[in-house]
A and B are shown apart, each in its own frame.
Chain A
Amino acid sequence: MSSLRRTIVNLVLGALIAGSAYDIVSDQEHWPFSQYPMFSGVWRSPTFTWLRLFGVTADGREFPLDANRFIEPFDQSRLPKALRRILDGPDGQARVRTALADCLARYEDLRRQKRHDGAPLTALRLYEVEWTIDPDGANIDRPDRRAFVAEVRP
């Protein structure tokens, strides 16, 4: 192993350790470096709220898009968080409707490709839903409350 190569390798090793240490100490994230904060908050409340998409069929029926196959490549963690960030930002309502239009187009693309068995949609609605956590998870399909946030139509 030449000294030049060993130097290069040592620099790479140092970069890994220094980059990770910086993010850990400063409690910041510079992907792919991170302080890995997942699930680090303490959970005390028996209730929680979550943003959830609902599809509206031609007969007016609503159903939750609570499986990843409806919203791929997003998932049930990433999409609500993305929508929350948009809503909390400037011009949130208008921007979230643009995002929902993307989601509706994507849903229909996936449906036409038979990647899911969902019904054709006449509208897509975003609600903020709230649950009281049930010890048996018996109310997963029955949130305590839901608040309308936005709607888009094709």
Chain B
Amino acid sequence: MIRRAIGWWDAFWFTPAPASTLGACRVLFFGSLFLWQWHHDFSAWGRFSSVLWMPVWLFDVTNIPAFPAPVIAVMQSLWKASLLLSAIGLFTRPAMVVAFVLGTYLMGLPHNFGQTQHFDTLVVFASGALALSRAGDACSADALIAAARGRAIDLPRDDGEYRWPIRFVWVAMALIFCAAGLSKLRHSGLEWIFSDNLAWLLRRQQYHISDGEPLTRWGLLVARHSVAARGLALASVSIELFYPLALVSRRARYVLAPAGLAMLLGIRLLMGPTFEQFMMCYVFWIPWASVAAAVRRHAPSGANRLVVFDGSCGLCTGTIAVLRRLDVLGRLRVTDARTDWIRLAAAYPFLNLEACLTDMQVVVTRKNGASSVETGFDAYRSMAWVVPLAWPLLPLLYMPGVPAVGRRVYRFVASHRSADTCGITGLQDCRIAEREGGRA
């Protein structure tokens, strides 16, 4: 029995999962939080006198005060910078730790001034989980840098490391919803649902008493119809109480996760309380790796691109590792000219080994079967058409003058990489050795 429970626990938290899903969650979570908080100024809390300071538990037991406004201003600048770095995945681990520590202080600070609101507790939990996670292994600048430097040539394999942080946010969200439902039943019983309670609440919220104004006056319309108000109350409590089922049942997940989001939107529209930060945590419910796979299956394929590179060249291998990470649409195939030359020469007789070992080549095969070869800068420009992250650069790559400069830059880099990566015997010797190996 205990063994079975432990097995279930391990399977729930640590079944191998793709790094890209957690990476995408990190990008979207920290990115949206950064944008949301960009204009938010916490420093004003440092200007109030102590009569308004009523510390919540965490600040009370740790004896953390409201720092002076200039100190808070510095902290929030560091926090926002850490959110941005966490989103783009640069210095990811330290950035996420800073985002968690400073975020806990800054988001917790307002709750020490008279009222504890609940729209950001999940953000604190999610930040904590990510700070402890390896969420920077994919979809991050760090991963691209590591790939370019040859430290992480292969894509990260599925691992339990990439599942538990996501499940952590799921569980935290389920606990929050369920606790809210239980609180209603504990304090009000079924009267919360089967009375005019919600109708009164919806009307009362119009009187400028919320942390945010209701975005609409639809609450008054709902309140006019007792059945509608009671139905809404029943739906709300049901969603809250049954939300934990979303953790264990895929079918329940498909219903309860969107229903919970709809309820938060409804609260914002009808009643006012601002749960936008809570809603950001919904990015953790989306299986991004599966979404990317579906996009790959259904997006128009266009021309195939075969990238031919020199596998003995460290710079080329790093570049290919970077390209494989950026190729979210799966439109690039890569092959090492050294190890695959016999097959390549048979399939594409117009290719030349000398050229393949000198410059990166991209064989573009169109739907009508026609093939062409792009080389160097033009090869990169061709690949940019199928790498979404490069799409904003495409107009620039076709601007007059840019290709000429690009080809010169490519030539400079390519000539230097030859000396660097085949430096022991010289590039020429590498090629000779390869040719001999190829013939053998």
Contact = CB atoms under 8 A, between A and B. Distances in A.
Interface of A: 1, 6, 8-10, 12-13, 16-17, 20-21, 23-24, 27, 29-46, 48, 50, 64, 66-68, 72-83, 85-86, 95-96, 98-99, 101-102, 105-106, 109, 131, 133-137, 140
Contact of A36 (B111, B176, B197): B176
Interface in B188-214: 188-189, 191-192, 195-197, 200-201, 203-204, 206-213
A40 B115 contact: no
A99 to B, nearest CB: 5
B192 A40 contact: yes
B195 A137 contact: no
B51 A99 contact: yes
Interface residues of B, number: 72
Most buried by B among A1, A24, A31, A45: A31
A35 B180 CA distance: 7
Interface of B: 13-14, 41-42, 44-45, 47-49, 51-52, 54, 56-58, 104, 108, 110-111, 113-118, 121, 124-125, 128-129, 132, 159-161, 164, 168, 171-172, 175-176, 178-180, 182-184, 186-189, 191-192, 195-197, 200-201, 203-204, 206-213, 217, 220, 223-224, 273
A43 B204 CA distance: 10
B180 A86 contact: no
B186 A40 contact: yes
B188 A77 contact: no
Given A6-B14, A77-B115, A42 B183 contact: no
A42 B191 contact: yes
**Chain B interface main SS type:** helix
Contact of A17 (B48, B171, B195): B171
Contacts of A83: 114
Contacts of A67: 208
A102 B47 contact: yes
Contact of B113 (A12, A33, A64, A78): A78
Given A37-B187, A39-B184, A43-B197, A20 B208 contact: no
A83 to B, nearest CB: 7
A78 B114 contact: yes
Contact of B183 (A6, A36, A66, A135): A36
A134 B186 contact: no
6 contacts: A36-B118, A36-B179, A41-B188, A43-B196, A76-B208, A77-B210
